[in-house]
Amino acid sequence: MSSRRHRPINLPAPYLKRLWLDPSRITDRKAYPFCLPFLADDFELRFERSITIIAGENGTGKSTLLEGIAVLAGYDEAGGGKGYMPVDHSKAIEAMGGKLSAALRASWLPKITKGWFFRAESFFSVARYLDEAAKEPLSGPPPDFLSHSHGEGFLRFFNERCQRQGIFIFDEPESALSPARQIEFLKLMRRMENIGHCQIIMATHSPILMAYPNATLLRLSKYGLEPTTVEQTDHYKAMREFFDDPTGFVEAAIEE
Protein backbone atom coordinates (compact mmCIF):
# COMPACT_ATOMS: atom_id res chain seq x y z
CA MET A 1 0.00 0.00 0.00
CA SER A 2 2.73 2.45 1.01
CA SER A 3 4.91 1.68 -2.02
CA ARG A 4 1.89 2.14 -4.29
CA ARG A 5 1.09 5.48 -2.72
CA HIS A 6 4.62 6.78 -3.30
CA ARG A 7 5.03 5.32 -6.78
CA PRO A 8 6.19 7.99 -9.28
CA ILE A 9 3.47 9.48 -11.47
CA ASN A 10 4.45 9.06 -15.11
CA LEU A 11 1.51 10.90 -16.66
CA PRO A 12 2.44 14.21 -18.31
CA ALA A 13 1.09 17.61 -17.29
CA PRO A 14 -1.46 19.14 -17.09
CA TYR A 15 -2.71 17.45 -13.93
CA LEU A 16 -5.40 19.96 -13.04
CA LYS A 17 -7.81 19.39 -15.92
CA ARG A 18 -10.91 21.41 -15.10
CA LEU A 19 -12.08 24.03 -12.64
CA TRP A 20 -15.66 25.12 -12.06
CA LEU A 21 -17.87 26.98 -9.58
CA ASP A 22 -20.43 25.11 -7.47
CA PRO A 23 -23.39 27.52 -7.02
CA SER A 24 -24.74 25.48 -4.10
CA ARG A 25 -21.71 26.52 -2.04
CA ILE A 26 -22.17 30.26 -2.58
CA THR A 27 -24.06 31.86 0.31
CA ASP A 28 -24.02 35.45 -0.93
CA ARG A 29 -23.65 36.29 -4.61
CA LYS A 30 -23.18 39.98 -3.76
CA ALA A 31 -20.19 39.32 -1.49
CA TYR A 32 -16.59 39.39 -2.67
CA PRO A 33 -15.24 37.54 -4.62
CA PHE A 34 -18.49 36.19 -6.09
CA CYS A 35 -19.48 39.69 -7.19
CA LEU A 36 -16.56 39.70 -9.64
CA PRO A 37 -17.97 39.81 -13.18
CA PHE A 38 -16.17 36.69 -14.40
CA LEU A 39 -17.90 34.68 -11.65
CA ALA A 40 -21.37 36.06 -12.44
CA ASP A 41 -22.34 33.21 -14.76
CA ASP A 42 -21.42 29.56 -14.71
CA PHE A 43 -17.65 29.73 -14.37
CA GLU A 44 -15.57 26.96 -15.90
CA LEU A 45 -11.90 26.77 -16.82
CA ARG A 46 -10.32 23.87 -18.69
CA PHE A 47 -6.58 23.20 -18.81
CA GLU A 48 -5.53 21.50 -22.02
CA ARG A 49 -1.85 22.45 -22.08
CA SER A 50 0.86 22.31 -19.46
CA ILE A 51 1.17 26.12 -19.40
CA THR A 52 -1.77 28.49 -18.94
CA ILE A 53 -1.18 32.25 -18.85
CA ILE A 54 -3.84 34.73 -17.70
CA ALA A 55 -3.71 38.41 -18.64
CA GLY A 56 -6.02 41.17 -17.42
CA GLU A 57 -6.21 44.53 -15.72
CA ASN A 58 -5.87 45.03 -11.98
CA GLY A 59 -9.10 44.35 -10.15
CA THR A 60 -10.44 41.76 -12.57
CA GLY A 61 -9.75 38.93 -10.11
CA LYS A 62 -6.58 37.26 -11.44
CA SER A 63 -4.90 37.00 -8.05
CA THR A 64 -8.11 35.89 -6.34
CA LEU A 65 -8.53 33.11 -8.90
CA LEU A 66 -4.94 31.96 -8.44
CA GLU A 67 -5.36 31.97 -4.65
CA GLY A 68 -8.41 29.77 -4.99
CA ILE A 69 -6.54 27.31 -7.22
CA ALA A 70 -3.60 27.31 -4.80
CA VAL A 71 -5.86 26.33 -1.90
CA LEU A 72 -7.32 23.47 -3.92
CA ALA A 73 -3.76 22.29 -4.62
CA GLY A 74 -3.01 22.32 -0.89
CA TYR A 75 -0.85 25.45 -0.78
CA ASP A 76 -0.96 28.43 1.53
CA GLU A 77 -2.76 31.48 0.08
CA ALA A 78 0.20 33.70 0.94
CA GLY A 79 2.56 31.58 -1.12
CA GLY A 80 4.73 28.53 -0.67
CA GLY A 81 4.26 24.80 -1.02
CA LYS A 82 2.25 22.22 0.82
CA GLY A 83 2.82 22.49 4.56
CA TYR A 84 4.37 25.97 4.46
CA MET A 85 2.67 28.58 6.62
CA PRO A 86 5.05 31.56 6.47
CA VAL A 87 2.51 34.35 6.95
CA ASP A 88 -0.33 34.83 9.44
CA HIS A 89 -2.96 36.07 7.04
CA SER A 90 -6.00 33.93 7.75
CA LYS A 91 -8.42 36.73 8.59
CA ALA A 92 -7.60 38.72 5.47
CA ILE A 93 -7.68 35.76 3.10
CA GLU A 94 -10.83 34.17 4.50
CA ALA A 95 -12.86 36.79 2.66
CA MET A 96 -10.92 36.34 -0.59
CA GLY A 97 -9.18 33.38 -2.23
CA GLY A 98 -9.83 31.03 0.65
CA LYS A 99 -13.55 31.65 0.41
CA LEU A 100 -13.51 31.21 -3.36
CA SER A 101 -11.75 27.88 -2.99
CA ALA A 102 -14.64 26.59 -0.87
CA ALA A 103 -16.98 27.07 -3.82
CA LEU A 104 -14.59 25.78 -6.49
CA ARG A 105 -14.54 22.23 -7.74
CA ALA A 106 -11.66 20.64 -9.60
CA SER A 107 -11.00 17.63 -11.78
CA TRP A 108 -7.49 16.17 -11.56
CA LEU A 109 -5.68 13.39 -13.41
CA PRO A 110 -4.10 12.64 -11.05
CA LYS A 111 -4.31 14.91 -8.00
CA ILE A 112 -0.90 16.51 -7.49
CA THR A 113 0.04 18.03 -4.14
CA LYS A 114 3.63 18.90 -4.97
CA GLY A 115 4.68 22.23 -6.44
CA TRP A 116 4.66 25.88 -5.42
CA PHE A 117 2.53 29.00 -5.28
CA PHE A 118 4.62 32.10 -5.94
CA ARG A 119 3.43 35.59 -4.99
CA ALA A 120 5.81 38.50 -5.46
CA GLU A 121 4.53 40.48 -2.48
CA SER A 122 5.09 37.59 -0.08
CA PHE A 123 8.32 36.27 -1.59
CA PHE A 124 10.56 37.62 1.16
CA SER A 125 8.35 36.19 3.89
CA VAL A 126 8.51 32.78 2.22
CA ALA A 127 12.25 33.08 1.52
CA ARG A 128 12.91 34.06 5.14
CA TYR A 129 10.85 31.09 6.26
CA LEU A 130 12.93 28.74 4.08
CA ASP A 131 16.22 30.28 5.18
CA GLU A 132 15.26 29.91 8.84
CA ALA A 133 13.89 26.38 8.41
CA ALA A 134 17.16 25.29 6.79
CA LYS A 135 19.06 26.29 9.94
CA GLU A 136 17.49 23.40 11.80
CA PRO A 137 19.79 20.44 12.64
CA LEU A 138 20.37 17.97 9.79
CA SER A 139 18.73 20.25 7.26
CA GLY A 140 21.95 21.16 5.47
CA PRO A 141 23.26 24.63 4.63
CA PRO A 142 20.59 27.34 4.32
CA PRO A 143 19.69 28.41 0.76
CA ASP A 144 20.27 32.08 1.69
CA PHE A 145 17.81 33.48 -0.85
CA LEU A 146 17.73 36.87 0.88
CA SER A 147 21.42 37.68 0.31
CA HIS A 148 20.73 38.30 -3.39
CA SER A 149 19.05 41.18 -5.18
CA HIS A 150 15.31 40.89 -5.59
CA GLY A 151 15.50 39.65 -9.19
CA GLU A 152 18.47 37.35 -8.55
CA GLY A 153 16.73 35.92 -5.49
CA PHE A 154 13.60 35.25 -7.55
CA LEU A 155 15.49 33.44 -10.30
CA ARG A 156 17.67 31.47 -7.90
CA PHE A 157 14.54 30.44 -6.04
CA PHE A 158 12.73 29.48 -9.25
CA ASN A 159 15.65 27.44 -10.56
CA GLU A 160 15.96 25.53 -7.29
CA ARG A 161 12.27 24.86 -6.65
CA CYS A 162 10.50 24.77 -10.00
CA GLN A 163 11.94 21.90 -12.01
CA ARG A 164 10.35 19.06 -10.09
CA GLN A 165 7.06 17.33 -10.75
CA GLY A 166 4.12 19.42 -9.61
CA ILE A 167 1.73 22.27 -10.22
CA PHE A 168 3.36 25.72 -10.13
CA ILE A 169 1.26 28.86 -9.74
CA PHE A 170 2.90 32.23 -10.45
CA ASP A 171 1.19 35.51 -9.60
CA GLU A 172 2.94 38.28 -11.56
CA PRO A 173 6.50 36.86 -11.40
CA GLU A 174 7.72 39.80 -13.51
CA SER A 175 7.29 42.15 -10.53
CA ALA A 176 11.00 42.07 -9.70
CA LEU A 177 12.37 40.95 -13.06
CA SER A 178 13.95 43.28 -15.60
CA PRO A 179 13.26 42.48 -19.28
CA ALA A 180 16.54 40.55 -19.42
CA ARG A 181 15.59 38.59 -16.29
CA GLN A 182 12.18 37.87 -17.80
CA ILE A 183 13.99 36.21 -20.70
CA GLU A 184 15.80 34.04 -18.15
CA PHE A 185 12.43 33.16 -16.64
CA LEU A 186 11.16 32.17 -20.10
CA LYS A 187 14.13 29.82 -20.41
CA LEU A 188 13.17 28.27 -17.08
CA MET A 189 9.61 27.83 -18.33
CA ARG A 190 10.94 26.03 -21.40
CA ARG A 191 12.98 23.70 -19.19
CA MET A 192 9.88 23.01 -17.09
CA GLU A 193 7.83 22.32 -20.22
CA ASN A 194 10.48 19.99 -21.63
CA ILE A 195 10.60 18.01 -18.39
CA GLY A 196 6.98 17.13 -19.09
CA HIS A 197 5.68 16.87 -15.53
CA CYS A 198 5.33 20.54 -14.56
CA GLN A 199 2.02 22.35 -14.88
CA ILE A 200 2.25 26.15 -14.85
CA ILE A 201 -0.64 28.53 -14.19
CA MET A 202 0.48 32.16 -14.32
CA ALA A 203 -1.06 35.61 -14.13
CA THR A 204 1.04 38.39 -15.65
CA HIS A 205 1.04 41.93 -17.02
CA SER A 206 4.20 41.28 -19.06
CA PRO A 207 3.80 40.92 -22.84
CA ILE A 208 7.19 39.19 -22.84
CA LEU A 209 5.87 36.39 -20.63
CA MET A 210 2.51 36.32 -22.43
CA ALA A 211 4.33 35.52 -25.67
CA TYR A 212 5.60 32.15 -24.44
CA PRO A 213 4.97 29.68 -27.30
CA ASN A 214 2.74 26.64 -26.81
CA ALA A 215 0.95 28.23 -23.84
CA THR A 216 -2.78 28.78 -23.54
CA LEU A 217 -3.20 32.56 -23.25
CA LEU A 218 -6.45 33.80 -21.70
CA ARG A 219 -7.74 37.31 -21.09
CA LEU A 220 -9.70 37.91 -17.90
CA SER A 221 -12.13 40.80 -18.17
CA LYS A 222 -15.61 41.75 -16.97
CA TYR A 223 -16.90 39.43 -19.68
CA GLY A 224 -15.07 36.44 -18.28
CA LEU A 225 -12.12 34.35 -19.45
CA GLU A 226 -11.55 34.10 -23.18
CA PRO A 227 -8.74 32.92 -25.44
CA THR A 228 -6.60 35.72 -26.84
CA THR A 229 -3.29 36.49 -28.50
CA VAL A 230 -0.50 38.70 -27.24
CA GLU A 231 -1.26 41.28 -29.93
CA GLN A 232 -4.90 41.50 -28.79
CA THR A 233 -4.08 42.32 -25.16
CA ASP A 234 -4.28 45.87 -23.85
CA HIS A 235 -0.80 45.40 -22.38
CA TYR A 236 0.74 44.78 -25.80
CA LYS A 237 -1.20 47.60 -27.46
CA ALA A 238 -0.07 50.11 -24.81
CA MET A 239 3.56 49.02 -25.06
CA ARG A 240 3.47 49.14 -28.86
CA GLU A 241 2.21 52.74 -28.75
CA PHE A 242 4.93 53.60 -26.25
CA PHE A 243 7.73 52.13 -28.36
CA ASP A 244 6.44 53.86 -31.49
CA ASP A 245 6.73 57.27 -29.81
CA PRO A 246 7.92 57.18 -26.17
CA THR A 247 7.90 60.93 -25.57
CA GLY A 248 4.60 61.55 -27.33
CA PHE A 249 2.98 58.60 -25.57
CA VAL A 250 4.01 59.82 -22.11
CA GLU A 251 3.10 63.43 -22.82
CA ALA A 252 -0.38 62.40 -23.98
CA ALA A 253 -0.82 60.08 -21.00
CA ILE A 254 0.01 62.69 -18.36
CA GLU A 255 -1.92 65.56 -19.86
CA GLU A 256 -4.84 66.66 -17.70
Q: Which domains does the chain have, with CATH numbers?
A: 12-254 (3.40.50.300)
- 8 Å CB contact between 152 and 185: no
CB 39 within 8 Å of CB 21 = yes
Predicted pLDDT at 21: 94
5-35 residues labelled b (16+ CB within 10 A) or e (exposed) = eeeeeeeebbbbeebebeeeeeeeeeeebbe
Residue 42: what pLDDT?
81
**Residues 6+ away with beta carbon under 8 Å from 116:** 75, 80, 81, 161, 162, 166, 168, 169
Q: What is the pLDDT of residue 97?
A: 53
CB 160 within 8 A of CB 189: no
pLDDT score of 154: 74
Tens of pLDDT along the chain (256 residues)? Answer: 444 455 667 899 999 999 999 999 998 888 999 999 888 778 999 999 999 999 999 989 999 999 999 999 998 887 777 766 655 554 444 444 558 999 999 999 999 889 989 886 665 555 555 555 555 444 455 555 444 455 577 787 778 778 789 999 999 989 878 899 999 999 999 999 999 999 999 999 999 999 999 999 999 988 889 999 999 999 999 999 999 999 999 999 998 6
The pTM assigned to this predicted structure is 0.85
Q: What is the pLDDT of residue 125?
A: 59
CA 92 to chain centre: 19
Q: Is the dihedral of CA 194, 198, 201, 202 positive or negative?
A: negative
* Distance separating alpha carbons of residues 72 and 221, to the nearest angstrom: 23
